[in-house]
Each structure stands twice: as structure tokens, then as C-alpha cells.
Amino acid sequence: MAEDYVNRVFETRDDRAANAGIQPTQQRQRSYSIERSYRSGVVERVHVHDNARNGNRQFEHVIGQWDPSGNYRGRPL
């Protein structure tokens, strides 16, 4: 996954392609993934889109989950 990041401002290669031709003063698309841990032992992988160019606020969606036994399901790691 680290190879998909082109800088430390959370602009992935896909984001860079989506941002092609966008002026620095315009909103740029950025995305990143985080992990959320719950007391139940479940850990979720969440993908967040920030400053989406369509004018919407930040949005996020679950892309994977580890159950308390350590089994993973979701988008490939």
C-alpha cells in the first residue's frame, strides 16, 4: 500500500490522476485509509475521501474488517 502514496499529503496515485488539470486554488481530491479498533476485538479498515471535488464533505466507507479471531474479509490488503 505504501507504494500507492506519492506524498505525505494523502494524495494517492489515483487521486493525482483525478486531480490532473486542477488549479492549486481549486479543491483537490485526497484519500487515505485508517483502522478503527472496537472493544469487541473487531478492527475495521476505513477509507476516507477528503475535499472531494463534487463539493461534498468528507466521506468514508468500510473497506475491510478483522473479526476478534483475526480473520479478515474485505478489500484485499
3-state secondary structure of 71: coil
pTM for this model (two decimals): 0.56
pLDDT score recorded for residue 7: 40
Asked if the model's pLDDT at residue 77 lies above 50, the reply is yes
For residue 28, how many other CB atoms are within 10 A of its CB? 18
Q: What is the pLDDT of residue 76?
A: 83
State pLDDT tens for residues 5-46: 444 455 677 777 877 777 766 666 677 788 999 999 999 998
Which amino acid appears at position 52 of this protein?
A: A
Give the start-end residues of each E strand in 1-77. 30-37, 43-50, 59-66, 72-74
Q: What pLDDT shows up at residue 73?
A: 95
Q: Which pLDDT value is given to residue 1?
A: 42
And the C-alpha cell for 55?
A: 463539493
